Every structure is written in structure tokens, then in C-alpha cells.
Structure 1
Amino acid sequence: MNQNNRLANRINLITIIAVYLLILVGGIVRSMGAGMGCPDWPKCFGSYIPPSDESALPEGYEQVYVDSRLQKNKRLAKTLTTFGFNQLAAKVADDPTIQEVTKFDTTKAWVEYINRLVGVLIGLLIILNLWFSLKYWRIDRRVVLLSALSLVLVLFQGWIGSLVVSTNLLPGFISFHMLLALLLVCLLIGQNFIMDTDKSNLVYGKGILLILFVLFLIQIVLGIQVREEIDWMKSMTEIVRSEWLTEIGTLFYVHRSYSLLIVAIVGWFSYYNWKKGALTTPIKLLIGAIGMEVLLGIVLTYAGMPAFAQPLHLLLASVAFGVIFYLFLCTNLKVNNN
């Protein structure tokens, strides 16, 4: 790998790490209930830097931002109706939670502001990633295509982020926002896999990994739904943190029990590769991530849902998902090495 290609590979890796950092920061925002720390977008209470005190805001600012959201949501609802999403359009236009006012909170404003700054950093890195990937145009155009798709996806993510704010954290948009982040991880990892000339991570069990990939994605969706229920209880009820999971009921128990299936498949896949002498570093990373994920799940269940564990639980799930996707790509190396 020449120097230019090494630099392109390094920028891609930094971008992947930065995306995971954004997922972690986003998890912290949700666990703190700071998603509406800035009730407007891209500014924060009308400024590019959050105000230091509520006294700096005009009288009646709460209703000003509610009215602004409602106007934007009317336009969004009309667009959704045009494309046939009538049910979602009705929810965007009529959900009463969208009309809730946002009180200024310095801590929450800065937490959400930092989240947005990390998002800007991701955007800059994605642009650099595309710029340096152009060197691969004559070598492998898939690298350029994946980096260009990553840029388009980040721009789309920014727009979805604005809708998350305008709809006052409407659950469906938050979940979609998270799934798009995982798609971005896959695009960047796919690009990295193509650029990497050291194809030494030979992996066996393509069918097992495909099943694991699908089942793990389902588990993430279940986890997102559990998270949405928690967010609703946090904002709409007086239920104490330690009783959240009990109140969720069946959905949580399915999510918890389903994890046993994931652990079993990861164990079988790891054993299968160990028997073939191919227990590579990425597989060990997967084992570690799943092990820590289970441990955090136990902490969340039996230690009263401590706030610190929620974003870490999300981060480890995202890391495991990315590793599974990378390992699936590596299963194709057998054909190339025979």
C-alpha cells in the first residue's frame, strides 16, 4: 500500500471511530433526556453557541419555538401525505407531545450542542474520506461509490436530525435516525475492507454470520423499541427509574431472552472458527463486545437502570453489529485465497 492509499485508509478508520463516538454521545443525550436541550436546529436557542443563562432569552421564548416546530411539521406532514405516508403524517401534525414547551437548561443545552458539534466533525471527515477515496477511481471504483454514498447519507442524516428536533423527539424518527447511523457504519466498513490490502482475516461460516447479522439487527430494533418505551415513561409518567423495565413488560422480556440466542450463535461461530484455526482478532473483538453487552444488560436489569450503562449498552451493540458485518465480508476471502 503506497503512502496516499495508507492516508486514505487511515482517514476512513478515523471516520469510523468518529461515527461510533457520535453514537456514544447520542446515547448520552438520550439517557440524560437532553434531546431537546436545543429546541431549534441548526442553532441552539437562536444562537450558534448556547446561551449561558435563561435571562439572555426573550420573554415567551418557549412558545416561539413551539410555533416554529408546528409550522415546519405542517410542511413535513404535507410532504409525507404526498408520498402516501398518511398515518405518519397525521402523527407528525397532531401528536400532542410536539406542542410541549422546552424550558432552558444549561447542562442539557450544552450536551445537545456537543452532540451537534460531533455531527459536524463527522461531516468534515466524510468529505475528507470522499476526497482521498478519489485516488481509487482507477483501482476500484467501489471505494469511491461507497464514500459518495456515505456523504449522501450523512446529509440525509442531518435533515432527519432536524426532524427529530421539530417533532419533539417523536419516537419513530429517533429509531430511524439510529438505524441510518448503523447503515453509515456498514458503508464505511465496506469501503475499508476493499481498501485494505492485508487480507489476512480469513473467516469461516458465511451462512452462520448471515443468520447472526439478520438476528442481531432484529435485536437492535427490539432494543430501540425498549428505549422508546423508556423515553415515553421518563417524559410522561412519574414511574421511578428502577421500575421502568418492569413496566415495559413483554417487549423487554423478549429483548432479554432473545439475547440468549445471539450469545449461542456467537459461541457456535467462534468455536467453529477456533476448530479451523481461524480465531482471528475481529472474532475475539466480537466475543468481547457481546460479553460486555450481556454484562451491561444484567447491570441495567438488576441495578435499577443506571444512566451510565445505557449509552455504553448502545455503543457496544453498534460495535458488535459493525464487527459482524466486517466478518461477513471476510468470509469471501476463502474464494480469493484458494
Structure 2
Amino acid sequence: MRALVKISVVLAFCVIVLGAFTRLTEAGLGCPDWPGCYGFLSVPSQADQIQQAEALYPDSPVEIDKAWYEMIHRYFAGTLGLLILAIAITSWFQKRQPSQKPTPVKLPGFLLALVIFQAALGMWTVTMNLQPLIVMGHLLGGFSIVSLLFLLSLRLEPYRVGGGDPELRRYRGLAFFALIVVICQIALGGWVAANYAAVACTELPFCEGNWTSNLDFSGAFSIPEANTYQFGAHDYDDRMTMHVIHRIGAIITTLVVGWLIFKCWRKAVSSFFRSSLLVTSLLLILQIALGISNVVFNLPLSVAVFHNAVGALLLLSLVALNYNLSRKA
């Protein structure tokens, strides 16, 4: 079961990256229906198939590349769902065998329920034409799945962290707070992405012009009525406000996570915890650099996708740190 969970962690991470790529290439509606594509199981590619598809969806002309981006994301996500189903079934059977070591059952069961809900969010993302709250929820669902799979992987590992750093346990509260802050920052990033606000500000450190007088917090967190939310439905002031809040969130996240690393590093004795803290530090620095690069270079695709990937890795590093700090010495 451990191998199955580890494979699922890697696949869940790939699904997050593919989801970011799909969103950033404007392929979220590459297939206007769900779970198929223009009524087909795969992307229509023959002339007669394309003609049939465009007759069925006259407002959505077939763009083969974008349709493939969307379907590949769905294929990977569907495979992940089957793996999580296998994990849940395996854990249930192992729990019923008294000769087996204690196996987590609640977490695999919750993961199965979560991935089913995530599939529903994926469907609503398409059927509700990229409604921002659904898109952000879908992004958070993906991050939640990979985090919980990673936590399950940690719980199944036979190797356990020793008690060489008992003084670090005093920072469990700070570590949990840092984890919550990172999750909130990911949610803000998802809201910015869902509303196409990533390039609303093109200068550093906050925004160009007299941005403070144009802030609109109520508008930034509203959902305007629209037939489609592709390319965004908010005005500039709303998007600029979203972007500025995300940047402020990045500063807060840096300070909180940086403070956690500093406090733990001073008390860490074992190479295990020092290595873990070093990885978290490098991921934090890299994430800041990628965020700045998104602004300076006007959101290049590779940098934006990498920004999502490193955000997921930073989250996983904090999940691991929280787990290891919570273990008894």
C-alpha cells in the first residue's frame, strides 16, 4: 500500500501542474462538455468529427491543442481517482485482517470522498463557464488531495523521526499557523488566477499609479453576473485589488514562514530537521523569485506553471514539518 500511496502523491502533483498549465493556456473550456469532449470520449480530430462537434456546440469552435490539454488533465485526474479508490479499498481490507499492522482507514476514506467532490468541481468548472469560486475551489481541492496523500504516505512510513530535537516541539503552534498562512496565500493565488488578475499590476513592490485610491475590496471578492467568466468578468480596480492583496499575502507568508525557519533552526540538533528546514527555506526563496519574475517578465507560461508547482512543494514541506514536530520524542 505504501508504494501505491507514493505513486498517488506523484500523480496528484502532476495533476496540479497540468491543471495550472491548462488554466494558463486558456484551455479550461477546451472541451465545452464533461467528462467527454464535444460528445466524444477523446478529442475530435477527423474532419467529420470536428464538423459534428461544432454543430453540437456552435459557440465553441474546436481548438485541438487546447482540447488535448484539457483532456490530458482529465485523464490524469481520472487515473488518480482510481488510485485513491484502490487505496481506500486496500486500507479497508487490511483493517479487517488482525495480522496486519494498524492501517489508517479514515484518511483514505476522506480522500475518496474528497476526490469525488473534486471531480464534481471539475465538471462545474466547465458547465458553469469558469465561475471563479468554482475554479478556486477546484485548485484548493487539488492542493488538499496532494497534501493529504503526502500525509498518508508519512503515516505509513516504517521509519520514524527520533527524539533528537525535543525542544522543537515548542514551535508546533507556530508551524501550524505557518501552514494555515500558506494555505490562505494559495487560496488568494487561486482567486487571482481564476479572475485573470495575474497581470493587473506590472510594477513592484505593489502596483503602478495611484493604486491606493482605486482599491475596491467589496468588488474584488464579489462574483459579477456573466454568461462566461473566461478572461475575467471584473473591472480593472477589482483585479488590481486582488493582485495587491495577493502581494501583501506573499509578504506576510514570507515573514511567518521565515520566522518559523529561524526559530526552529536555532534549536535544531539533528541533521534530519536541519535538512527539512533548509528545503523549506530554498522553496520559499524560489517561490518569491518566481512571483517577482511573473511580474517582471509579464507572466511567462513556464514561470507561472513553475510558480504553482513550487507553491505545492512549499505546502508539502510544511505538512511534513508539522507532522514531524507533532511526533512524540
TM-score after normalising by structure 1? 0.77
Q: Is the 8 A contact 1:38 1:44 kept in 2?
A: yes
Q: Is the 8 A contact 1:289 1:316 kept in 2?
A: yes
Aligned mate of 1:103, from 44, 61, 70: 61
Aligned mate of 2:307, from 313, 330, 338: 313
Deviation per CA, 1:173-218: give whole Å up to 9, x if none.
1111111222222322332232122112765411111211121121
Aligned mate of 2:324, from 285, 310, 330: 330
Please name the residue that 1:140 is paired with: 102
Distance 1:53 1:170, change over 3 A: farther
1:248 correspondence with 2:227? no
Please name the residue that 1:216 is paired with: 182
1:288 correspondence with 2:282? yes
State the 1:164 CA deviation: 1.1
Aligned mate of 2:42, from 49, 54, 58: 49
Deviation per CA, 1:20-54: give whole Å up to 9, x if none.
10000000000000011111111111111211145
Please name the residue that 1:301 is paired with: 295
State the 1:235 CA deviation: 4.5
Please name the residue that 1:33 is paired with: 26
State the 1:228 CA deviation: 2.0
Aligned mate of 2:86, from 120, 128, 134: 128
Deviation per CA, 1:200-251: give whole Å up to 9, x if none.
27654111112111211211121112112217999458xxxxxx99983232
Structure 1, 208-217 or 245-254: larger mean CA deviation? 245-254
TM-score after normalising by structure 2? 0.78
State the 1:55 CA deviation: 4.5
> Hey, what's the Cα distance between the residues in 1 that align with 2:55 and 2:184?
39
Unaligned runs of 5+ in 1: 1-7, 67-100, 238-243
State the 1:124 CA deviation: 2.3
Q: Compute the RMSD of aligned alpha carbons.
A: 2.6
Aligned mate of 1:226, from 189, 192, 201: 192
State the 1:63 CA deviation: 6.9
Secondary structure of the structure 2 residue equivalent to 1:249: helix
Q: Is the 8 A contact 2:195 2:231 kept in 1?
A: no
Distance 1:222 1:245, change over 3 A: farther
| 2:256 partner amino acid | I
Q: Is the 8 A contact 2:133 2:191 kept in 1?
A: no
| 1:110 partner amino acid | W
How many percent identity over aligned positions? 23
1:207 correspondence with 2:173? yes
> Hey, what's the Cα distance between the residues in 1 that align with 2:130 and 2:108?
29
Please name the residue that 2:222 is paired with: none
Which of the pair is proportionally richer in helix?
1
Deviation per CA, 1:248-295: give whole Å up to 9, x if none.
323212211321222222222222222222434333222222111111
State the 1:130 CA deviation: 2.4
> Hey, what's the Cα distance between the residues in 1 that align with 2:172 and 2:82?
35
Q: Is the 8 A contact 1:219 1:259 kept in 2?
A: yes
Distance 1:231 1:252, change over 3 A: closer
Structure 1, 298-307 or 201-210: larger mean CA deviation? 201-210
Distance 1:41 1:285, change over 3 A: same
> Hey, what's the Cα distance between the residues in 2 that align with 1:305 and 1:280?
34
Please name the residue that 2:14 is paired with: 21
> Hey, what's the Cα distance between the residues in 2 that align with 1:197 and 1:136?
17
Paired positions, count: 286
Distance 1:231 1:259, change over 3 A: closer
Distance 1:297 1:51, change over 3 A: same
> Hey, what's the Cα distance between the residues in 1 that align with 2:175 and 2:313?
15
> Hey, what's the Cα distance between the residues in 2 that align with 1:264 and 1:159?
36
